[in-house]
Amino acid sequence: MLSINPSNLPAKENYKFLIGSIIPRPIAFVTSLSEEGVLNGAPFSYFNIVSANPPLLSISIQRNGGKRKDTARNILHHREFVVHITDEKNVEKINITSATPPANESEVELAELSPTSSEKISVPGIKEAQIRFECILEHSLELGGNNSEPSCDFIIGRIVQYHIEPELYEKGRINQEKLGAVSRLAGNDYAKIGEVFTIKRPR
């Protein structure tokens, strides 16, 4: 087995090992509002659950050359955002939003996604997602980097409203087959859920 010290590797090599090993990763499509009111949208695969009581989720937003991305800057300013689950039906359009247009242009418009009003926050979501979570900022941390310059913004959001397509909702549970969530692998690769197997947990 290879034994490699990550401190001896450049960031790019660590990145390759991580995204090739920690798979599959769920994809959060996040909408946020700029100070000028532009609806920003971007996908993030450094995304997961933090807590169910209260319902919290996390997104790690990597910086470019030490500079915050629009999504992190918008969330820290407005303290509100919407997280959508990426699925087989919307992944093509959501992939378009990973482009980097000027800050005054909306990726949501670029991908021809359809904004829809939220109930408890000012940030719109998109109609193309079967599940979306209205979130408020719970905590934010600056992490990573060298020479005291952070390399990412770690965002923890509290879910204040769920939106779920009725056909997915069955007796308090989500039908994962109907959802058809997709995940990120390495490079340009994505994955569907694939074969599902069950193992009972010990008591």
Residues 6+ apart with CB under 8 A from 147: none
Distance CA 75, CA 30 (A): 10
Question: What are the pLDDT digits (tens) for 30-71?
Answer: 999 999 999 999 999 999 999 999 999 999 999 988 899 999
From the CB of residue 101, how many other CB atoms can be counted at a distance below 10 Å?
13
- Alpha-helical (H) ranges within the chain are 11-21, 70-78, 91-96, 107-110, 176-179
Paired tokens of 61: 């937003």
Q: What is the pLDDT along the chain (203 residues), one digit of tens a residue?
A: 999 999 899 989 999 999 999 999 999 999 999 999 999 999 999 999 999 999 999 999 999 888 999 999 999 999 999 999 999 999 999 999 999 888 889 999 999 999 999 999 999 999 999 999 999 999 999 998 876 789 999 999 999 999 999 999 998 899 999 999 999 999 999 999 999 999 999 99
0.85 exceeded by the pTM? yes
Distance CA 142, CA 123 (A): 23
From the CB of residue 126, how many other CB atoms can be counted at a distance below 10 Å?
22
Closest C-alpha to 164, from 176, 146, 152, 155:
176
